[in-house]
Amino acid sequence: MPRLTEASLGELSVSVELPTYDRDSIEAGIVHLGIGAFQRAHQAVYTDQAMSLSGGNWGIIGVSLRSDTVARQLLPQDCLYSVLSEDGVEQSLRLVGSVTQVLVAPTQLDEVVSAIAAEATAIITLTITEKGYCTGPDGHSLDRSNPLIEADLAAPEAPRSAIGLLALGLRRRQSLGNSPVTVISCDNVAANGQVIACVLKEYTELAFPELSAWLQNNTSCPSSMVDRIVPASTEAQQLRQSQMLGLTDCSAIATERFSQWIIEDNFCSPRPDWRAAGVQYVDNIAPYEEIKLRLLNASHSAIAYCGLLAGKEFVDQVVTDRQLGEFVETLMNDDLMPALNVPSDFDLGAYKSQLLARFRNPCLGHRCEQIAMDGSEKIGHRWLPVLQGSGENSKLIVALAAWCYLVLYTDIAISDPKEAQLLQLRTRRDDSRLRELLACARVTQRTVTSLDSLCRQIEQKIDKLAQGGILALVSI
C-alpha cells in the first residue's frame, strides 16, 4: 500500500473529510510543545477545522521534547494523518492537515528556539503532561531540585525541560523585539495557565533575569480545559485505518467522537477562528476545569488502579463489570460530585451519564495501564482536593488504597517520574513507607485534615485487599 502523502491523496479508497485550505500556502502561526496523539486528535483538529472554515495562517510546528518517533511517522507523510472518531454507533474519518512541521528538540534546538521566537508565531500550546511543569510539593511553583530544572539552570542555553526550552525561545523573541505571544497549557493540571505562568516566571528569574519584565508585558497564559479520550496508538489500529484509507498511515489516531476545549478569554495575540470549530471562551474557567479534573480524570484514575488489580486491561471492561461499575458510579455520586462547585446552568447528572457512556465506548481500547502512569503526579490534581474532606466511607480512599497496594504489594509495572523511589518503597517492609508513598503524591500532614486517620483507613483497606482482592474491597 502506498504511504499517505499529499501526492497519494488521489488514491484514497474512501471518502474522508479533507482540509479545504491550501496547505502549500499556509504559514505556521502556532508552536506546540509535546506533540503526541492527544494534541493531534484535539488541538490540531480544532485548528484544522478553523482553517477549513475561516482560513488564516495557523499551521502548527509540533515539537517533540525527547524522541523522534512522531517526526519519523509524520514527516514522510507531509505531516498528514487520519483521525478516526467512533463511539460504537457512529464513525467518522478525517485527514488533518494543520501540522506543517515536526521538530525534535534534542537535535534541533536552534530551530525550536527560532520557531518560538518567530514573529509569525502568535500562540504556543503545550501538552507536556503533569510532570512537565516540574512543580514542587505545593503543585504550582517550580521545584528547583528537580534534576531537569537543576541541569537547565546550570546550562540555560541547552535546556532539556519544556520550561527551559520555552524560556530560551522567549528570550530570543524578546531580543528580536517581536510581538506578544499567548501560551496555552492543554494539560490536566489544575489552574494550568497560572501554573505555567508561575513556573516560567520563577525559572526566568533564575536563568534570564533580564527577561522577567518582558514576560510580564508580552505574554498571557490563559487556562484551558481540554477533553477528548485518546488512547495511545497501536500498530493494529494503524493497520486498520490504513486499510480503510487504502494508504499506509503510520500516524493514524483513533479516538472518541466527543471533544471539548474551553479556554479562558485572556489572549494577548491573534488566534485562529477556533470558535467556529467549537471552542468555547469563558471568563472564569475554574468550574469547568474542576468538573473535568475531579470527575472525569479522578474516576479515570480510580478505574485504572482498581481495574489493574482486578486483572482488567481496558477501561470499558472495568465500567461494564457489575461490581467495579457500581463502585465507579458510587464514587462519582457520593464522593466526587458533592465536592464540586457547579455553575447553575450546568447539568451535572447529564454530564455524569455521558461520562459513563464515554467510558463504556467499546471501540476505544483505552488501556488502564496508560491512565495508571504518573500516579504520583496525577493524584494531587485529581484526588487530593476531594480527599481533603473525605469521611469514613469514602470510595476515594478505596481508590487511593488501590494505588498504594499496587505500588507496595504487587509486581505490576510502574511508570512514574518517581519510579525509582516507588520501587524502593516496594522492597521495604517498615511502617513508615505508606506515609512516604503518600507524600510522593502530595498527600501529607499539610494537605489532608488527618493523615493519621487516613493512613489507618488505607491500612485497613490494604488488609482487606490482601485477603479478598479488589472485588471484595469495592463491594463493601
Contacts with ligand CS2 by CB under 6 A lie at: 188, 227-229, 297, 300, 370-371, 378
Q: Are strands 219-220 and 181-185 parallel, antiparallel or unpaired?
A: parallel
- Tell me whether residue 370 or residue 453 sits nearer to ligand CS2 (CB atom): 370
**What are all long-range contacts of 314-320, with beta carbons under 8 Å and residues at least 24 apart?**
314/364, 314/365, 314/366, 314/367, 314/368, 315/359, 315/364, 315/366, 315/367, 315/368, 315/371, 316/359, 316/360, 316/361, 316/362, 316/364, 316/366, 318/359, 318/368, 319/356, 319/359, 319/360, 320/360
Please, what's the b/e burial string for 444-473 (b: 16 or more CB within 10 A of its CB; e: otherwise)? eeebbeebeebbebbeebbebbeeeebbeb
Least spacing, CB of residue 292 vs ligand CS2, in Å: 7
- Exposure of 22 by Cβ count < 10 A (0-12 exposed, 13-18 middle, 19+ buried)? exposed
- Tell me whether residue 168 or residue 295 sits nearer to ligand CS2 (CB atom): 295
Least spacing, CB of residue 130 vs ligand CS2, in Å: 9
- Tell me whether residue 115 or residue 186 sits nearer to ligand CS2 (CB atom): 186
- Tell me whether residue 42 or residue 173 sits nearer to ligand CS2 (CB atom): 42
Least spacing, CB of residue 188 vs ligand CS2, in Å: 5
- Tell me whether residue 32 or residue 228 sits nearer to ligand CS2 (CB atom): 228
Q: Please, are residues 316 and 303 in contact by the beta-carbon 8 Å criterion?
A: no
Q: Are strands 224-227 and 260-264 parallel, antiparallel or unpaired?
A: antiparallel
Least spacing, CB of residue 298 vs ligand CS2, in Å: 9
Q: Which residues contact 475 (CB under 8 A, 6 or more apart)?
A: 323, 327
User: If we measure between CA atoms, which residue out of 355, 381, 359, 374 comes closest to residue 305?
Assistant: 374
- Tell me whether residue 84 or residue 229 sits nearer to ligand CS2 (CB atom): 229
Collapsing DSSP to helix, strand or coil, 314 comes out as strand
Least spacing, CB of residue 13 vs ligand CS2, in Å: 31
Cα 439 to Cα 418: distance, rounded to the nearest angstrom: 11
Least spacing, CB of residue 187 vs ligand CS2, in Å: 9
Taking only Cα atoms into account, the Rg of the chain, rounded to an integer number of angstroms, comes to 22
In Å, what is the CA distance from 209 to each residue of 119, 167, 171, 215? Answer: 22, 11, 10, 10
- Tell me whether residue 80 or residue 253 sits nearer to ligand CS2 (CB atom): 253
Least spacing, CB of residue 300 vs ligand CS2, in Å: 4
Cα 410 to Cα 249: distance, rounded to the nearest angstrom: 38
Cα 287 to Cα 341: distance, rounded to the nearest angstrom: 6
Sheet hosting strand 81-86, strand order edge to edge: 91-96, 81-86, 253-255
- Tell me whether residue 26 or residue 355 sits nearer to ligand CS2 (CB atom): 355
Least spacing, CB of residue 161 vs ligand CS2, in Å: 21
Least spacing, CB of residue 260 vs ligand CS2, in Å: 8
Q: Where are the alpha helices (DSSP H) in 69-145?
A: 69-74, 109-117
Chain position carrying cell 514542587: 136
Least spacing, CB of residue 377 vs ligand CS2, in Å: 10
- All three cell numbers of 134, joined, read 516540574
Amino acid at 469: G
**Nearest position to ligand CS2, beta carbon:** 300
Least spacing, CB of residue 303 vs ligand CS2, in Å: 9
- Tell me whether residue 40 or residue 228 sits nearer to ligand CS2 (CB atom): 228
- Tell me whether residue 52 or residue 255 sits nearer to ligand CS2 (CB atom): 255
Q: Phi and psi at residue 123, in whole multiples of 5°?
A: -135, 140
- Tell me whether residue 79 or residue 253 sits nearer to ligand CS2 (CB atom): 253
Least spacing, CB of residue 320 vs ligand CS2, in Å: 18
- All three cell numbers of 13, joined, read 479508497
- Tell me whether residue 292 or residue 461 sits nearer to ligand CS2 (CB atom): 292
- All three cell numbers of 61, joined, read 510546528
Q: Which residues contact 20 (CB under 8 A, 6 or more apart)?
A: 52
